[in-house]
């Protein structure tokens, strides 16, 4: 009896062929196509990331090529959309904050420009004395202080002038140095430090001191670099937010 060999047995692909119309096989093919489209969309997005249009396109592909036997769960789809909406909202909020920061910086610059030529009070004990001029400051005490003594020192810490202010009430008390030394001579132009102490509760206590300075110009900068800076004569730049008081020059 002769052996009959079927033509199909000679075809090495016969056993591996599948029916393209089979729903399961069709779903697998669609899933592969969807994955390819997703990879292509992600590659096209590149470094800039996926936009809202890209997300909707991918979502549409996902729904179009989903496995009919395992359709996308409604909760899962809603969760994906909610997650993207949250990320997109945060991105938009960051953009809005950036715009708001620019507006605030512009307003600060406009405000700061009006201070050029004026005196501002800053929280530092160092002030600048102009040749033949005076130097002013502010002594602050939470409680009343007695026998308040103010010391004016140069850059090396040498005592230049001693001013007896007597008893001061609590709060801010303005002081002014006429620019002369203890010997009555005019002190040279430059930076000097103001130190104050008084008797508070029968103890000699150091008091807080601030000084006035002349605003020469304004420097505009980003928020990370400190924003708007006031350039003070002899003292350098300080933040606009550090200004305690504005006075006439």
The string of DSSP codes covering 114-146 is TTTTSEEEES-SEEEEPTT--EEEEEEESS-EE
* CA dist., res. 80 & res. 41, Å (int): 17
Residue pair 215/118 in contact (Cβ under 8 Å)? The answer is yes
Q: How confident is the model at residue 128 (pLDDT cuts 50, 70, 90)?
A: very high
Q: How many CB atoms lie within 10 A of CB 61?
A: 18
27-51 pLDDT, tens digit per residue, is: 445 545 544 554 554 454 444 556 6
Question: Average model confidence (pLDDT) for the chain?
Answer: 76
Tell if the pTM clears 0.75, that is, is over it: no
Return the percentage of the chain with pLDDT > 70, whole number. 60
For 226-242, what is each residue's pLDDT tens digit? 678 889 998 998 888 88
> Which tens digit of pLDDT belongs to each residue from 53-95?
776 777 777 767 676 666 666 667 677 667 767 767 777 777 6
Provide the token pair at 177: 């140095």
The residue written with tokens 């102009």 in the block is 130
pLDDT score of 148 more than 90: yes
Q: What are phi and psi of 97, to 5 degrees?
A: -65, -35
Copy the structure tokens of residue 249: 């020059």
Place 218 in a pLDDT band, splitting at 50, 70 and 90: confident
Element (H, E) at 197: strand 190-200
> Which CATH number is 119-247's, of 3.40.366.10, 3.40.50.720, 2.60.120.260, 2.60.40.4070?
2.60.40.4070
Segments of the chain assigned to CATH 2.60.40.4070:
119-247
Q: Residue for token digits 């501002």? A: 120
Name 71's Cβ contacts closer than 8 Å, sequence gap at least 6: none
Structure tokens at 184: 């009555």
Return the SS3 of 14. helix
């Amino acid at each position: 009896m002769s052996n009959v060999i079927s033509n199909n047995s000679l075809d090495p692909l016969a056993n591996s062929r599948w029916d393209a119309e089979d729903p399961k096989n069709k779903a697998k093919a669609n899933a592969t196509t969807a994955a390819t489209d997703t990879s292509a969309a992600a590659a096209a997005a590149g470094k800039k990331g996926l936009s809202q249009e890209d997300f909707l396109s991918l979502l549409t592909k996902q729904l179009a090529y989903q496995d009919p036997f395992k359709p996308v769960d409604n909760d899962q789809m809603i969760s994906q959309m909610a997650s993207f909406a949250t990320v997109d909202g945060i991105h938009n909020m960051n953009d809005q904050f950036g715009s708001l920061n620019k507006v605030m910086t512009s307003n600060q610059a406009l405000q700061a420009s009006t201070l050029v030529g004026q005196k501002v009070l800053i929280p530092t004990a160092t002030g600048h004395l102009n040749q033949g001029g005076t130097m002013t400051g502010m002594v602050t005490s939470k409680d009343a202080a007695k026998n308040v003594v103010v010391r004016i020192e140069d850059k090396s810490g040498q005592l230049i002038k001693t001013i007896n202010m007597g008893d001061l009430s609590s709060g801010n008390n303005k002081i002014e140095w006429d620019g002369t030394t203890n010997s009555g001579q005019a002190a040279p132009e430059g930076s000097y430090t103001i130190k104050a102490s008084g008797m508070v509760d029968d103890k000699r206590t150091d008091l807080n001191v601030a000084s006035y300075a002349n605003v020469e110009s304004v420097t505009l900068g980003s928020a990370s670099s400190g924003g708007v800076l006031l350039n003070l004569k002899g003292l350098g730049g300080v933040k606009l937010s550090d200004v305690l008081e504005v006075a006439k020059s």
